[in-house]
Amino acid sequence: MDDLVKNTNERIFITGGKKLHGSVTISGAKNAALPLMALSLIINKGFTLSNVPNLADTRLMLKLLNDLGIQTKWENGKIDFNGLPLNDHASYDLVRQMRASILILGPLLVSQGSAKVPLPGGCAIGSRPIDLHVMVMERLGANIKFESGYIIGSVPSSGLKGAKIDFPKISVGATESAILTAALAKGQTVISNAAQEPEIVDLVNCLNKAGADIMGEGTNKIIINGVKSLNKVHHEVVADRIEAGSFAIASSITMGDVEIKNVIPKNLQFFLKVLENTGSKVEVFKNSINICAFRKPLPYDVTTQEHPGFPTDLQAQYMTLMSLADGNSQITENIFENRFMHVPELIRMGAKISVNKQKATIKGVDYLKAAKVMASDLRASMCLILGGLVALGTSEIDGIYHLDRGYENIVDKLSNLGADIRRSR
């Protein structure tokens, strides 16, 4: 089967030095769309999602669902889902390409009573285990075993039952797995130490509109009273706060002036405060933000944390900003143990960064220089684009299939803001 993710040998060429100006509209969030799409395995009629970003990862999730027997129609950002899965066996060739495929495990157990799902792949940002997803299934009563690289699950004849799930570590995906699986389990599930990300709130909003009974989303304790079935529902995917944050940094780093539309500012509160502390002017409106900068960024230390802290998904992009700061800063990565793979590439552009375990020390330089660089993961690819936007000369960024996983129409969006950027072989 074709590799849906690594399907391009194009590169991005950027000539640095243009200040970005104008306005950009943010797409729906990949990280909200993926768990919402998995809901189609348990809602069998009249489920539609709009504002779905057209990305390698959402296309892959769609293919995975189609392969399980779900019928879909995707037009202008809207997907109509129909039918229930016809089998319980997820394709290895699809699942290996995306870690978030693990989100289908619970819904398959609910609708089929059994599941055979390969151990997932995805971005190489650490070992990324799935033990917490498995713990969720077992707490809710499923039997799980591992055989030849597959997770094999079955549900006892009495069905899945609500339970207390106390996470030893906060996980976005495992919290979503618990919600997706417990919504239709018998009785009450109480999730403690739950993740609080806006994408989880979006998933719960959609489920509750479909008749689920879930409370506490957006806090660390979520209570789910299982219901018998879910009804038809239409839901609009929440805006992508990481894409919005990436454009905010693009405006700051180029000393531009950009209006970022279709944003929920409160979902970016911590990040926007940090950006203000680096000297950018941040104006917040109801559904948009305006970011401009008139000077080199000030150095400001950050530590990545679960929401509502500084998002790990903006760490790489923020490091590019700090590479040009007027002084030294430190970035501590608390969520993933191997998420500094962009550092050697930024150094190729002239950044001065040293890494000691989870801490990167960044010595601000006066300018970056264009270079040939290789993206190592999704957010790293954006950090290199940001470097290219300000570097002297024309940079060439390879490995951009990572970018296609999570940024919709990025080249057009940046061009429209005045960047000198193109994509070609």
- Which one among 64, 90, 130, 239 touches ligand UD1, defined by CB under 6 A? 130
Closest separation between CB of residue 292 and ligand UD1, Å?
28
Site string for ligand UD1, 41-80 (x = CB under 6 A): ----------------------------------------
What H or E segment, with its residue span, contains residue 271? helix 269-277
Provide the H-helix boundaries in 3-122: 30-38, 56-67, 92-95, 105-112
Chain CA centroid to CA 9, Å: 23
- Which one among 132, 222, 258, 374 touches ligand UD1, defined by CB under 6 A? 132
Q: Hey, what amino acid is at 217?
A: E
What does the DSSP 8-state code read for residue 194? -
Does 129 interact with ligand UD1 (rule: CB under 6 A)? yes
Q: 123 an active-site residue?
A: yes
Q: Which of 171, 267 has the CB closer to ligand UD1?
A: 171
What H or E segment, with its residue span, contains residue 233? strand 233-236
Asked whether the beta carbons of 99 and 128 are under 8 A apart, the reply is: yes
Does 146 interact with ligand UD1 (rule: CB under 6 A)? no
- Which one among 335, 375, 382, 410 touches ligand UD1, defined by CB under 6 A? 335
Alpha-carbon span 395 to 391, nearest angstrom: 8
Residues in 356-415 at the binding interface with ligand UD1, rule: CB under 6 A? none
Q: Which of 132, 140 has the CB closer to ligand UD1?
A: 132
Residues in 286-325 at the binding interface with ligand UD1, rule: CB under 6 A? 312-313
293 closest CA partner among 245, 344, 254: 254
Query: Which residue has the CB atom at the shortest distance from ligand UD1?
Result: 173
- Structure tokens belonging to residue 152: 């094999």
Does 174 interact with ligand UD1 (rule: CB under 6 A)? yes
Q: Which of 256, 406 has the CB closer to ligand UD1?
A: 406
Q: What stretches of 249-407 adopt beta strand conformation (E)? A: 257-261, 281-284, 288-292, 302-303, 328-332, 352-356, 359-363, 372-374, 394-398
Alpha-carbon span 209 to 135, nearest angstrom: 27
Q: Which region, judged by CB under 6 A, interacts with ligand UD1, from 59-67, 124-132, 210-218, 359-367?
A: 124-132
Alpha-carbon span 5 to 124, nearest angstrom: 13
Q: How many residues bind ligand UD1 (CB under 6 A)?
A: 22
Alpha-carbon span 419 to 19, nearest angstrom: 7
Closest separation between CB of residue 382 and ligand UD1, Å?
12
Q: Which region, judged by CB under 6 A, interacts with ligand UD1, from 111-119, 122-130, 201-209, 356-364?
A: 122-130
- Structure tokens belonging to residue 17: 């030095």
Does 126 interact with ligand UD1 (rule: CB under 6 A)? yes
Cα angle value 361/270/327 (rounded, 5°):
30
- Which one among 47, 318, 336, 407 touches ligand UD1, defined by CB under 6 A? 336
Does 99 interact with ligand UD1 (rule: CB under 6 A)? yes
- Which one among 96, 128, 186, 234 touches ligand UD1, defined by CB under 6 A? 128
Alpha-carbon span 344 to 341, nearest angstrom: 7
Does 201 interact with ligand UD1 (rule: CB under 6 A)? no
Rounded to the nearest 10°, the torsion over CA 308, 417, 400, 245 is: 0
Does 180 interact with ligand UD1 (rule: CB under 6 A)? no
Please count the residues of the chain.
425
Q: Which region, judged by CB under 6 A, interacts with ligand UD1, from 129-137, 217-225, 315-323, 359-367?
A: 129-137
Catalytic residue among 123, 206, 292, 383: 123
Cβ-proximal residues to 174 (8 Å cutoff; 6+ apart), any chain: 132, 133, 135, 136, 167, 195
Q: Which residues are catalytic?
A: 123
The contact set with ligand UD1 (CB under 6 A) reads: 31, 34, 99-100, 126, 128-133, 169, 171-174, 195, 199, 312-313, 335-336
